[in-house]
Structure 1
Amino acid sequence: MSKQAKKPKKELTIEQKINRRNFISFASFTVLAGGAYGGWRWLYKSPEEVAGGITGGTRKPLRKALNKTELFFRRVFSDNHLVKTYPKELAVKGARVNSDIGLEAKKKFDPATWKLQVVKKGGEVLQVSLQEIMALPKTEIVYDFKCVEGWDEIQHWAGVKFIDFIKHFKLDEYIKMEYLGMETPDKAYYVGLDMPSAIHPQTLLAYEMSGKPLQLQHGAPLRLIIPVKYGIKNLKRIGTITFSNTRPRDYWAEEGYDYYSGL
């Protein structure tokens, strides 16, 4: 017996094709949304970090993921990792002011009385004036300053490379340590940095912005500009610098943000 010929499949109408595609899309969205919601519920119910530590303010699984991401980026980080730079004419004329934490907004601050405090071994403190810093070779950078809030703008900064500062004041032995800490004179704002990022060739101790002396609202007389990090690490008005092999405290990491905050 001969096999019975198969009937040709009936061609779907355009409307049926659209309906089928919409059904598949909706079903896929429902499955993905359900998975995302389940993941969010799991994360929301997971244990929180213990308060009072170097990091805090978030759930333990998220912090664990952030720490693993940091390890990955630190393995591939090098001095050859340079941020893109731009011509001066592309820089904004007035850089955005985003925070005044640590700037003693309610008190008068006299830059003339300021000195940078570098804490050395045994508690010895090296005190450096702005004039001493400005006497070192000047470096300028025009780059895209990025904030964790989502905004960015091209800014023009000038100062001394941090690595040049280290070498001039014979602090080479200290950069063999893993971390660097900085805080404002009033100790209200503080950051912790991995040493490779701190001594990166684009990291500056900045005393000028847009070709003019740094203004108080931007961190005068001296602030950190570290292009390989988000803005939260670019500490305004540096008061004290410390070195350690353990993570220094960090203002925003204590509030749930990524400790590394690298780009």
Structure 2
Amino acid sequence: MGFMSGEELVLTLAPVVVYWVYAGVYEALLEHTTVLDRYRLHSRRDEETKNIASRKDVVRGVLLQQAIQAAISVAVLKLEAHGAAGGRAASSQPEPFLVVAARFGVAMLVLDAWQYFMHRLMHSVPFMYRRFHSWHHRVAAPYAYAAQYGHPVDGVLTETLSGAAAYLASGMSPRAAAAFFAFATAKGVDDHCGVAAPWNPLHAAFRNNTAYHEVHHQRGGGRRNFSQPFFVVWDRLLGTYAPYALCQSRGGGLEVRAFKDQTTTR
């Protein structure tokens, strides 16, 4: 790894480490404690009966996706370092906080826009859904470490390229980008964790959360709530937003009920 700087190495590996550590925390809490049981959207039984992909398949699929993601990340960093914007990677002068915050905002907007339209395209073109995106929906009862499970082509088009676009458009340094992608990774894990705890700060900060994305994973929900991972603006603007309510389920956890009659799709 000597051909990579320390910052480039951190940018490449930080999202992978955050993914497995954060997902592992959820898994440990759900497996060995009852602290999250009242906030679960799916029981272990649901995960066993509703999900087509096995947990071993999910782990293998996620690791493959992360290996491809890391390779593309290295390629983007090396191409950029030899291009006109190479000074960004080489600069050691820290930027003012407001500048970094603005770059974060740009990256969030670019990431959201790319993922909304690519995600919607995957559902709108039957071949693309059947061949690629249906892999992700083999996990109908989502859990934390299945967040990045999917066909490698879908992963590259929807997640990896959106990240590259966000990085290049925002002009973030590799150090700032490492923090951004670690945060975006944690957000993606949280959106698939199957737990809707009211005290979760990510749920308080973003309308696009676990319950919101649960609507999309429900049967018949594939044409609604495409937005990910931060905002819901594209769904609202383009008529694919589905409101929902969190209700107590018979199993003692929570249930997400979407109001289909209030949803319009264009």
Q: Is the TM-score greater than 0.5?
A: no
Q: Could you say which structure has the greater relative contact order, defined with CA pairs below 8 angstroms and 6 or more residues apart?
A: 2
**TM-score, length-scaled by structure 2:** 0.23
**More helix by percentage:** 2
**More strand by percentage:** 1
Greater Rg by CA = 1
